Amino acid sequence: MTLFKDLLQRRVPQILGIYLATSWAIIEFLDWLINRFSISPHLPEFGLVILASMIPTVLLLAYFHGKPGRDTWTKIEKIGVPTNVIGAIFLLFFLFKGKDLGAATTMITLENEEGQKIERIIPKSEFRKKVMIFFWNNETGDTSQNWLSYGITDMLSTDLIQDYYIEVRTVENCSSASIEKIKEAGYPNLSGLPLMLEKEMAEDQHMNYFLTGSFTKQDEIYSVNAKLYNTRNGKLIEQNTFVNHDVFDLVDQLSVQLKHDLEIPDYHIEEVEDLPVSEITTKSLPAYKWYISGANEVIFSQNWNKALNDLNESVKEDSTFSIAYFTLYHLYLFTGQSEKSAWIFKPLMNHLYKLPERIQLLVKAIYFEFNQQYEKQYAIFEMLVTLFPDDIKSRLNLITFYKIRNQIEEAIAEYKYILELDPERYSVFKEIGSLYMQLGKFEDALKYFNRYAEHFPDRPESFRSIGSLHKIMGNFEEAKFFYEKALLLEPENISDLLCLADIESESGNYELALSQYQNTLVKCKTPEERAQVYSKLQYYYELRGEMKKELEYLYLEHTEWERFISPLLLSAAKIQTMNHFVRLEREDVAFQTLETLKEELDPLLKNLVYVGYLYLFLELEDIEQAENSILEVESLISEMKVETLQTVVLNARGQIHELKGEHDLAVQKYRKQLELFPTNSNIYINLGRCYRNLKNYNKAEEALQKALTAHPFSPDANYEMALVYYEMGKTEKALEHMRRTVSIWENADPDYEPAMKAREKLEEWDQ
């Protein structure tokens, strides 16, 4: 009691109470400020920490100076107050290091594709809300309403794209592997998922929140129950029910409430442009239903013709439905019919005003692409990044452009910037690692793969990435170790099973490899998985010189392609296989296929056929026709900026120089190709052959050894190395490599010429 009386006399409780009340008022004031002005939402927390951490100083000052009358500073105060202040500073530094305590927005100035200056105020990335929206569960009991499961999600995500404070992702935006994972879990329609699966999907996409729910309908009145969850802990944040006879109005209500639930500042919600979803899409429910039906045909069944039909019906219902036109253009493009899409641009551009600014810019990008104004298209991508510097989707579009232009270092720089914007977007570590691996910078690749694995030590992707790196480096035991660890977590993964079989093949264990390929085929559930296995079997038999079986699996692979990829990609894939048909003595098939593709291919991409002709004429050793095809391919590169095709041109020129006996010039081309594709072992084989013909045996040995490090049982590399050693007078080494070559081709078709040559050489040298 004496202590309490002493504290009362010194007015400690009163002063502390006044301090706490004032502190509460300050925090409330800061909360009020951030809801009305562009101020960091960290400020209330920052203020709370300051005020709470200074309570010891308040108590000290109250105790020693609370009594009426004059007081002097005590030793305790002289030590305690500075110590408290220093401690508070350290605490603030520790808790708020890296957090932006200034404005929540920033102003930027940029030039558009016409050189006009534009100013925009945009939110900083730290304050953007990342939310994944799942398809809604239909609880009406009426299957005719199933389309709304997808329609409500699409309307909501389209509505939210107007607000740069929110980054939205939906299930169909996920990878095909993620979608297959949902289907295999027993949800082929991708809706009605259990909470834990939704949480896992949101985590995979690195979203902070996820929104899910259900809808019912009674007497023409719709009711939607929405639930917002925290991805990190799976806890329900808010649950709301919305009732309306108009689906579009209902989505508008849901959109505004979601922004409040995500704690987006009130001033922003009030000021941001937020047109009703019916204004930026369509006011016609039948039009939207056709639109969703077409999109679902692509997602669920890859029925491209039905999708085109449904999208066309959609714009017939509402000729101002801009987003439907935008989607329809892409469908025509992916089906190789962009010439049929020319009519789309008139209504699309006439109603461009309906679209949110970001989509308007994307529409301009496809317009410039259609008109082959690639520099303006590139300017649009750069404008998107400048206009929305913290918008990751815009940067990903730019990265795609960099990859097409073969600007890999620039793509890596963009990925690294994305990590600065969003340090939790861990999938970028894998992307950077893959690009470094493509450049042959294996140490850098491993560093980024390991960084991903540090965050996800229990995910198969972590081990899979590191395994792929060791495999390309020729470290087969290490690669096998990591793939087996991945399979422990995902035992039926087709890609991992095939990689293990590849390792056995690369190690010369052919019977075991073949058995593993065949066993994997039995486990396949989708056309995509079967195509993967057929591709591996086709390559296996190509490697071993069994041409009849190679052709069989090539046709099987093509058959599976037709079941899951778009006509455009199917055409591109077929073009890449033309040389196989020539080698397999199916020249007529190759020419017929290319002529058909030339007639059917989209005018924008018709010149891609010349890549196929180039492969074909090189295989036929027709120098004149090959050189003509190179000119066409170079024209394609120049017009469309598809710099990735430069490696094809350099390889072709190298082969032509070889056919002319100009091995020194061939070396120059192969060296340039190697700069673009340093992990391609075939280039080292080509260099080894050229150096051997130039009598530069040391360089030939060096080049071939690099190929053999990655592929010790490559028959072509072993054959060339055998010739090099024989000409160097190293007969034993020559015999070793030629015997390996012959053993690889032991089951080759009787008329397989490379195997016949190898056996003749071995017989000649063995005498």
CATH code of 152's domain: 3.40.50.10070
- Do 181 and 157 belong to one domain? yes
Last residue in a domain, options 347, 372, 397:
372
pLDDT of residue 510: 96
Check residues 187 and 623 and name the one with the higher pLDDT: 623
Last residue in a domain, options 372, 392, 419:
372
pLDDT of residue 559: 92
- Do 241 and 129 belong to one domain? yes
* Distance, CA of 463 to CA of 430 (rounded, Å): 11
The two structure tokens encoding residue 749: 């078709």
> Cβ atoms within 10 A of the Cβ of 256, count?
13
**Lowest model confidence (mean pLDDT) among 103-112, 266-275, 709-718:** 103-112
Please report, for residues 62, 362, 363, 378, 386, the alpha-carbon distance to residue 110 in angstroms, rounded to integers and kept in the order given: 56, 17, 19, 15, 7
Residue 727: which pLDDT band, with cuts at 50, 70 and 90? very high
Which residues neighbour 355 within 8 Å (Cβ) at sequence distance 6 or greater?
280, 322, 323, 326, 363
- Using the CB atoms, write b or e for 81-104: b if 16+ within 10 Å: beebeeebeeeeeeeeeeeeeeeb
* Distance, CA of 405 to CA of 501 (rounded, Å): 34
Query: What single DSSP character describes residue 563?
Result: T
pLDDT of residue 128: 74
- Do 234 and 271 belong to one domain? yes
pLDDT per position as a tens digit, 212-225: 999 999 888 999 99
- Do 240 and 292 belong to one domain? no
- Average pLDDT on 435-442 reads 95
pLDDT of residue 73: 73
Asked, for residue 596, whether it belongs to a domain, the answer is no
- Do 195 and 274 belong to one domain? yes
Query: What single DSSP character describes residue 100?
Result: -
Query: What single DSSP character describes residue 66?
Result: -
* Distance, CA of 593 to CA of 602 (rounded, Å): 15
- Do 140 and 271 belong to one domain? yes
Q: What are phi and psi of 174, to 5 degrees?
A: -75, 170
Asked, for residue 229, whether it belongs to a domain, the answer is yes
pLDDT per position as a tens digit, 348-366: 888 988 888 888 888 888 8
**How does DSSP assign 362-380, residue by residue?**
HHHHHHHHHTT-HHHHHHH
- Average pLDDT on 129-146 reads 91
- Average pLDDT on 724-751 reads 96
Asked, for residue 447, whether it belongs to a domain, the answer is no
- Do 175 and 58 belong to one domain? no
Which residues neighbour 423 within 8 Å (Cβ) at sequence distance 6 or greater?
none
Check residues 102 and 727 and name the one with the higher pLDDT: 727
- Looking at the structure of the chain, the number of domains it has is 3
Asked, for residue 556, whether it belongs to a domain, the answer is no
Query: What single DSSP character describes residue 299?
Result: I
pLDDT of residue 130: 86
Residue 117: which pLDDT band, with cuts at 50, 70 and 90? low
pLDDT per position as a tens digit, 562-584: 888 877 778 788 888 887 877 77
**How does DSSP assign 482-507, residue by residue?**
HHHHHHHHSTT-HHHHHHHHHHHHHT
The two structure tokens encoding residue 18: 């006044």
Asked, for residue 470, whether it belongs to a domain, the answer is no
CATH code at 296? 1.25.40.10
- Average pLDDT on 308-329 reads 93
Please report, for residues 290, 362, 370, 393, 591, the alpha-carbon distance to residue 642 in angstroms, rounded to integers and kept in the order given: 35, 20, 15, 22, 24
Last residue in a domain, options 96, 115, 139:
96
Check residues 34 and 405 and name the one with the higher pLDDT: 405
Q: Which amino acid is at 244?
A: N
- Do 339 and 215 belong to one domain? no
Residue 159: which pLDDT band, with cuts at 50, 70 and 90? very high
- Do 362 and 285 belong to one domain? yes
The two structure tokens encoding residue 630: 């190179």
Q: Contact 575/636 with Cβ under 8 angstroms?
A: no
- Do 186 and 247 belong to one domain? yes
% of the chain residues with pLDDT over 90: 52
* Distance, CA of 609 to CA of 459 (rounded, Å): 41
> Cβ atoms within 10 A of the Cβ of 755, count?
23
Which residues neighbour 240 within 8 Å (Cβ) at sequence distance 6 or greater?
225, 226, 254, 257, 261
> Cβ atoms within 10 A of the Cβ of 110, count?
16
Asked, for residue 358, whether it belongs to a domain, the answer is yes
Residue 475: which pLDDT band, with cuts at 50, 70 and 90? very high
- Per-residue pLDDT at 470 exceeds 90: yes
- Do 306 and 220 belong to one domain? no
Asked, for residue 315, whether it belongs to a domain, the answer is yes
- Do 218 and 236 belong to one domain? yes
pLDDT of residue 624: 95
Q: What are phi and psi of 746, to 5 degrees?
A: -65, -30
Length of the chain in terms of residues written: 767
Structural domain range at position 70: 2-96
Asked, for residue 534, whether it belongs to a domain, the answer is no
- Using the CB atoms, write b or e for 496-508: b if 16+ within 10 Å: bbbbbbbbbbbee
